Structure 1
Amino acid sequence: MIPSSPFLSRPGAVEGGGADAGVASHYGDPFREQRLLADGQAVVDLSHRGVVTVSGPDRLSWLNSLSSQLLLGLRPGQSTETLLLTVQGRIEYSAHVVDDGATTWLVTEGGEAAPLAAWLQRMKFMLRVEVEDVTHAWAVVGATRALPEVADAVVTWEDPWPSIGAGGYAYSTVDDGEHPGRERPWFEYLVPRERLEEVVAATGLALAGSLAAEALRVAAWRPRPGFETDEKTIPHELDLMRTAVHLAKGCYKGQETVARVHNLGHPPRRLTFLHLDGSQHTLPAPGSAVVSEGRTVGRVTSVAHHYEMGPIALAVLKRSADASADLIVQDGEEIYAAGQQVVVAPDAGQVVGRATGFLRSPR
């Protein structure tokens, strides 16, 4: 069990719920915290995240054989992300990856660290690797800029989103330079858990809650495991082909589905960004139905109140949902008007040799 954050004892701290339980959702002023975080003047306590380490001389070649990303030759300090898929190509585990030259660090959602470590243990066979769930010993701190005050003493993961990595492909409808994720650089610092308060104090920055981090994430169209994903999700649906999949690497479990959908088909669902009606004093709950012309076409996956844009959300819709239609989000008796901005193109897939449609190839 992950220990509760020491920052919950701070004045004004309100504990988050669900996947963000154990850390503060805010410290009394969510919008101010969000502005400070966006400006690089605050850090976020993410000590509820999970951390798994893989050590040994075969670690990178072994992880490379299991996952969707090309990890061979990953340089010390270089950041990436990878997916572990089922045979059907559905996302089973997702991890932020950084190697320090001796150990590969995998940052996950808090509830995923133990099952991921157990899964990796079963896949060791005779290889020279050691797997350990070190969540009890290491905590994560998030920020929107590099922090030289702590960078020399800890492992740092820099989010590759939304850059199109080597071997990746963009499924979104905007040019790479215009992607809203460009406005949200993101760094995660792995620090010894017993030094968490000391490290945060050394930055001299304010504390922001998880609500602030979530609002910036949603505005950046950044998928989060367990929120945008479910037991049926394939990477294409969330635009994760740009950062988490290498299309030209060797074989791995689920690779056949990844290649088949990319080259020959369409993903059945697509990620979309919603601007919600801000006239109400409530927000719809994740899981609320997205309705078009009286028909449910998807579900809301993440909801936030952005300090500039107001109420916003991410949703996963059926590919057949009209990309130009105004939508309604229905949460029980509450109804919210929603304007959609397409993230993953309705004609995503079948991209080889095809220059028409919504999609744009990487430059």
Structure 2
Amino acid sequence: MADGPDAGVAAHYGDPFREQRLLSEDVGVVDRSHRGVVAVPGVDRLSWLHSLTSQHVSALPAWSGTEALILSPHGHVEHHLQVADDGETTWLDVEPGTADDLTTYLQKMVFMMRVEPADVSAEWAVLSVVGPNASAAVGRLGVDLPAEPYGVAALPDGGLVRRTSFPGADLLVPRAALDATVDRLNAPLAGVWAYEALRVADRRPRLGFETDHRTIVQEPEWVPTAVHLEKGCYRGQETVARVHNLGRPPRRMVLLHLDGVSDELPAQGTPITLGDRPVGFVGTAVRHFEFGNIALGLIKRSTADDADLRIGETRAAID
């Protein structure tokens, strides 16, 4: 089993490198049922979420999705939302352990709006089908995978399939049907280690890994995937607009190649130093089947691309 925030799902099924290759070259199924799921039914759901999040969702068509953020009043990232709407309910797929806090916040913001946000993580689960042959696997469930990124379709036996921004799809299925859905997909299983290795290589940030309490949206480059720069007012918008219009963010996310001198990968939050001076921290470090030991890091923007960085005794080079 994986540890940390990913505890509760399989880290691997015996050969993490083979599983990475499956996800890169063919297709595999990743159990991500530890993620939180928040359901927002109600006729006002889209206009209401539009007023609370960084994304333009007021006119989101039924059977489509997007990504969005909820920010603090000072513009720091608090929640990252994977969004799918089925015409009656907007489904929010969120980081493990964050659904309760998100639901509490949303319920406090209801006021007179006709919405009923609820944490439904106990009833619904997320599976990811990853790889260039994901369409064939999803087709075995009796549905065509939508062609457009973030396109959403209904599963015949309940639930949703949502195309992701990288090759593959996320499935939202009743938790009671989790094992049966995996069987019907008829694709090899891959652990969360393989999924994370591909995520890091693709430079896709993850809340709580490539972020801290000071992170603003431009640092992990969540513009434009989760941030619409021309929408109306929402909490934290002033910071987003100021950084966009007047200057660059103080930090940037980078891909780091590690020298492999240590058998241990650096833990999330480990300082990145230049000489004796801290310049950032490690987000996610992985062993990649092609690139070796790599990591995402958040570093000071002024750090030169050819800087001789250190993570403990490990040397790190910016890609």
Q: TM-score, normalised by structure 2?
A: 0.91
Give the conservation status (yes or no) of the 8 Å contact 1:227–1:302.
yes
Separation in structure 2 between the aligned mates of residue 115 and residue 40 of structure 1, nearest angstrom: 37
Q: Find the aligned partners of 2:278 and 2:316 in 1 and give their Cα distance.
A: 14
Question: What residue in structure 2 maps to residue 157 of structure 1?
Answer: 162
Matched, 1:213 2:203: no
**8 Å CA contact retained: 2:35, 2:96:** yes
Q: How far did residue 338 of structure 1 move?
A: 1.2
- Correspondence for 2:264: 282
Q: Which amino acid aligns with 1:156?
A: V
Partner of 2:318: 340
Corresponding residue of 1:190: 172
Partners in 2 of 1:291 and 1:103 — Cα distance? 46
Identify which of 40, 63, 69 aligns with 1:54: 40
2:150 matched residue in structure 1: none
The aligned residue for residue 224 of structure 1 is 206
Deviation at 1:87, TM superposition (A): 1.1
Equivalent residue, structure 1, for 2:16: 30
Q: Among 227, 236, 239, which residue is 1:245 paired with?
A: 227
Letter in 1 for 2:129: A
Q: Output the CA distance in 2 between the equivalents of 1:329 and 1:249.
A: 40
For residue 235 of structure 1, what is the aligned residue in structure 2?
217
Q: Take 1:314 and 1:42, find their aligned partners in 2: how far apart are those partners?
A: 24
Match of 1:296 in 2: 278
Secondary structure of the residue aligned to 2:34 is coil
Distance (Å, rounded) in 1 between the aligned partners of 2:168 and 2:98: 21
**Counterparts of 1:157 and 1:324 in 2: how far apart (Å)?**
39
CA distance in 1, matches of 2:58, 2:292: 42
Give CA-to-partner distance per residue, 1:256-286, whole Å, 9 cap, x none: 1100010002211110100111354322222
Conserved? CA contact 1:33–1:208, under 8 Å: yes
Give the deviation of 1:28 after TM superposition: 1.1
Whichever residue aligns with residue 291 of structure 1, its letter is T
Within a 5 Å distance, the mapping from 1:1-363 to structure 2 comes to 15-144=1-130, 145-146=134-135, 147-150=138-141, 151=143, 152-153=155-156, 154-160=159-165, 184-330=166-312, 335-341=313-319
| One-letter amino acid of the counterpart of residue 188, structure 2 | A
**SS at the partner of 1:238?**
coil
Report the residue type matching 1:74 in the other structure: L
Distance 2:284 2:123 in 1: 29
Match for 1:329: what amino acid? I
Q: CA deviation at 1:291?
A: 1.4
Distance 2:270 2:167 in 1: 29
Letter in 1 for 2:187: L
Q: Which amino acid aligns with 2:219?
A: E
Residues 2 and 192 in structure 2, CA contact (< 8 A), matched pair in contact too: yes
Tell me if structure 2 keeps the 8 A contact 1:298–1:318: yes
Question: 2: distance between equivalents of 1:210 and 1:328?
Answer: 27
Distance 1:109 1:157 in 2: 17
Q: Runs of 4+ in structure 1 displaced over 4 angstroms?
A: none
Note the alpha carbon deviations across 1:164-216, whole angstroms, 9 max, x for none. Answer: xxxxxxxxxxxxxxxxxxxx424211011011010001011111110000000
Count of matched residue positions in the alignment of Structure 1 and Structure 2: 300
1:277 aligned partner, one-letter code? D
Question: Secondary structure of the equivalent of 1:272?
Answer: strand
| Structure 1 Cα separation of the partners of residues 250 and 263 of structure 2 | 34
* Structure-1 separation of matches of 2:109 and 2:243: 27
Q: CA deviation at 1:295?
A: 1.6
Counterpart of 1:340, as a letter, is I
Deviation at 1:93, TM superposition (A): 1.1
Structure 1 vs Structure 2: percent identity of aligned residues?
50
Looking at structure 2, the residues matched to 26 and 110 of structure 1 have their Cα atoms a distance apart, in angstroms, of 18
User: Mean alpha-carbon deviation: is it higher for 314-323 or for 129-138?
Assistant: 314-323
- Cα distance in 1 for partners of 2:54, 2:268 equals 28
Computed over aligned residues only, the root mean square deviation of the Cα atoms, in angstroms, reads 1.3
1:228, 1:301 within 8 Å by CA — same for their partners in 2?
Answer: yes
C-alpha deviation, 1:39, in angstroms = 2.3
Q: Deviations over 1:271-327 (max 9, x none)?
A: 010011135432222222211133211110101111111111000001222222131
1:96 and 1:157 in contact (8 A); partners too? no
Unmatched 5+ residue regions in structure 2? 144-154
Separation (CA, whole Å) in 1 of partners of 2:106 and 2:206:
21
Letter in 1 for 2:54: S
